[in-house]
Structure 1
Amino acid sequence: MGDYADFCESYGGSAGDPEFMDRWLEENVYPYNEDEEREWYLENENKPHYQLLMEQLESVDIMLDLDVPEKAKFSFLVMVQAHVVSATEGYLAGVFIHHVCNSDELTRKLVETDPEFAKRKFTLKEIYQEKDALKVTVATYLKDLIFHDVKKIKSMYQAVLSHKFENLSWLFRAVELRHHCVHRAGYDKEGKMIDISVESILELLGDVTDLANEIDTTIDNLSSVL
């Protein structure tokens, strides 16, 4: 299968090497730089997040049709699982940050309803300084939360955007699997391979699409009253 072989060769690997995907993930997916991530969100918060997510999901759908060698298939699916969940978290972050940071009303809602901001104390001088940098502070704070705490995101979406998630159990499971993918290359704490397949990822794509459609409807309704 030429596509996968070409992909491997472009990164100095071989399609017949079952460890290639693990190394590729380590070099290209695992590295994390907080300053770079924050910069990315602040620079890209105006992009069409729904469209970007749909394009990413479509690319995954295409990837799943690739004829991956059996020896590399598990590592390939580990990479794809991590990508889908990261794309979903990026979408949730992007949508929330964009709308909150572009609305004084929503920013105020966040500050008034989030316990983290209630704990913060400022001097009179700091209040004026913080006011000027409030949206950067909010964006930075939200970026960290969106990536790591689905339960927190659920309550924030409802409190600030008035969006109620009916069922996120599938996302909790997907995030847990992504953790195994990123930190243990697809193995759980007991050293067992995670249960992952083309079918499970296709089901995840469907769940993510439904989630995005629901949020998009909420945002449309929200935009009409702000």
Structure 2
Amino acid sequence: MSDYQDLCEMYGRSPGDPEFIDDLIDEFSEEEYEWFSENEDKNHFELLAEQLSSVGEILRMDVPQSAQFSFLVMIHAHVVSALEGYLAGAFIHNVCNSEELTRKLVESDPEFANRKFTLREIYEQKDTLKLTVSTYLRGLIFHDLKKVVPMYRDVLGHRFEDLSWLFHAVKKRHDCVHRAGLDKDGKKIDLSVDSIFELLEKAIDLANGVERSLAELKRKDL
């Protein structure tokens, strides 16, 4: 199932319904718009760095042995979620604040390109476009790396290096969230303080790489 299909299912609509996106925008409440306005200017890298730094401090706490595994399960899930939030926030902020990047998204994303409006109509309604793009992107699942990797490449020009560690971490996160740290066979997944520290290091390295690409984009615009 695609991200767009997931979004349609969330709202009880059909992927073939040409009115879905327009109706979704009409339902975009004032409260949600205020949330978007307040959060689009956040420094998502700084937010991620603060979250990961706090995890590092928490990992140094004394935790009873009987609670150690549950503690690591929660921390692992939190780190992956924080990274997912960064990937989403950084992408949405930069795309929604650039007509060029918005156009790249519209032209490169197959599901977005199939909307009923044309590119001419899009650029005649720039205010609505910003909300349309924001709503669509906020409905995507940013730990779905098969979707995120090509979006970052095609829209932001960022190419991720080896992400096998992140695929593995996301899979573990699924076990943490849905089975309290047990795999499909009911066995505890492999987690340790060292594995979390390693994940923290790789997460911040990944984000640093994204930030370098974003900085390069801004230099090109000058």
1:55 deviation in Å? 0.8
Partner Cα separation in structure 2 for residue 78 and residue 49 of structure 1: 24
Shift in alpha-carbon separation, 1:119–1:225, aligned structure 2, 3 A: same
Residue 113, structure 1, aligned to residue 104, structure 2: no
> What's the counterpart of residue 129 of structure 2?
134
User: In the alignment, which residue of structure 2 is the partner of 1:54?
Assistant: 49
2:192 counterpart (181, 193, 197)? 197
Q: Tell me the TM-score normalised to structure 2 length.
A: 0.79
Aligned pair partner of 2:82 in 83, 87, 91:
87
Query: In 1, distance between residues paired with 2:190 and 2:64?
Result: 18
The separation in 1 between residues aligned to 2:174 and 2:36, in whole angstroms, is 21
Equivalent pairs, count: 193
**2:149 corresponding residue in structure 1:** 154
Decide whether aligned partners of structure 1 residues 56 and 78 sit closer, same or farther in structure 2, where only a CA change above 3 A counts: same
Contact 2:142 2:148 survives alignment (8 Å): no
CA distance in 2 between partners of 1:132 and 1:100 (Å): 14
Taking the aligned partners of 1:148 and 1:191, their CA distance within structure 2 comes to: 24
- Give unpaired runs (5+ residues) of structure 1: 1-32
Structure 1 CA distance, aligned partners of 2:177 and 2:34?
A: 22
The 3-state SS of whatever aligns with 1:225 is helix
Using structure 1 for the length normalisation, give the TM-score.
0.77
Counterpart residue number, 2:18: none
Q: Provide, for residues 87-110 of structure 1, a one-character-per-residue CA deviation record: whole Å limited to 9, x for no partner.
A: 000000110000000001100000
TM-superposition CA deviations, 1:151-193 (whole Å, max 9, x none): 1110000100000011111111111111111111111122111
Partner of 2:178: 183
Deviation at 1:117, TM superposition (A): 1.2
Structure 2 residue matching 1:66: 3-state secondary structure: coil
Check the 8 A contact 1:38/1:140 in 2, yes or no: no
Contact persistence 1:106–1:161 (CA under 8 A): yes
User: Are the structure 2 counterparts of residues 123 and 150 from structure 1 closer, same or farther at C-alpha, using a change threshold of 3 Å?
Assistant: closer
Q: What do residues 11-45 of structure 1 show as CA deviations (whole Å, max 9, x unaligned)? A: xxxxxxxxxxxxxxxxxxxxxx9999997555312
Once the two structures are superposed, residues 36-82 of structure 1 have per-residue CA deviations (whole angstroms, 9 ceiling, x without a partner) of 99975553121011111111111000011010001111110011001
Contact residue 112 and residue 118 of structure 1 kept, 8 A: yes
Quote the residue 2:159 is aligned against. Answer: 164
Cα 1:109/1:210, change in 2 over 3 Å? same
Once residues 79 and 127 of structure 1 are traced to their aligned partners in structure 2, the CA distance between those partners, rounded to angstroms, is 43
- Given the superposition, is the C-alpha separation of residues 43 and 158 from structure 1 closer, same or farther in structure 2, using an over 3 Å criterion? same
